[in-house]
Copies of this chain bind each other. A is one copy, B any other.
């Protein structure tokens, strides 16, 4: 029974522990909570009432606040920590991460201080010896409200890998180059197929993908779009307006991601379009809820003070705008959301500016 360690006992980390406990593979599962009291309460109640009420943890899930206990002998380590804390936690965890463990990032967002994607942060923090291939970890993303996935309702996500090797290009006549690329991709493909099989559970399906840049940027940007969609609703606008916003939102996400090296088809897939639709239209989205309340006139401080949940989009606008400036890409929606969140701009003005943006010809 290979062991899977999940770091982070928020909604998604807890849901993943429950999903994985249903795998026919009968994994040994450790769920690490930073807060020792929370770990004790979850272990006692067999339920995470704070972050995932109503979902029972199977006996095979061991809940612990001790990194060493969680990580020892783990074949797979899943990162499900808010993006702002990934560096700290994995710096502390690094010495306990087994040398051959597969690392899977399930965190969506960018590191505020550095603008880095989560897989980049993990690669910096974990010594090369703890990573099986250069430029891994793998990334898990897609349209997945935690409570639905934990209940076993049908959920489809992607698991992505990217290596320098997979970007090898070769001439049509260069058979050695072709073989080299094929071998590198086969090794990564094998690793992905392994996680795909390990993580599959009733109702939970994984599709492999070779574009970590696209998957991670999509996962970060869709939260910002969800804040904008929520603001539309909070302002009393209808479904037509939100559908138009989602359309422009995906175009904006695709522009930046492609400028940073992503494949456009990743943005059109589960981690892009799928997660965007879910987050912009589903009532359970925390980012959307922040937008709804902003649109209804509350201040960000009021909203954040009333919840202990993390809305990743709040901290993501600044890193996205920094990346966009470096690559000379315009992000009109992200710009306005940033202005609402951090510069006191009135949501009504900001949304009007997004909606009334002159754009005479589509996809011009």
Which A positions have Cβ atoms within 8 angstroms of B? Answer: 142-145, 148-149, 151, 153-156, 158, 193, 196, 205, 207-209, 237-244, 246-247, 250-251, 254, 265-266, 268-270, 273-275, 277-278, 280-282, 284, 355-356, 359-363
Contacts and interface: CB of A to CB of B under 8 A. Distances in A.
30 contacts: A143-B247, A145-B240, A148-B241, A149-B240, A153-B238, A154-B240, A154-B244, A155-B244, A156-B240, A193-B360, A196-B360, A205-B355, A205-B356, A207-B359, A207-B360, A207-B361, A208-B362, A239-B282, A243-B278, A243-B282, A246-B273, A247-B268, A247-B273, A247-B274, A247-B277, A251-B268, A268-B363, A269-B362, A269-B363, A277-B281
Contacts of A144: 240
B247 A270 contact: yes
A202 to B, nearest CB: 11
A362 B158 CA distance: 7
Contacts of A265: 362-363
Nearest to A351: B154
Contacts of A241: 148, 153-155
A240 B362 CA distance: 30
Contacts of A239: 143, 145, 148, 278, 281-282, 284
A278 B238 CA distance: 10
Contacts of A208: 360-362
A39 to B, nearest CB: 27
A354 B336 CA distance: 38
B362 A148 contact: no
- Among A149, A266, A363, max chain B CB count under 10 A is at A363
A193 B360 CA distance: 9
A13 to B, nearest CB: 17
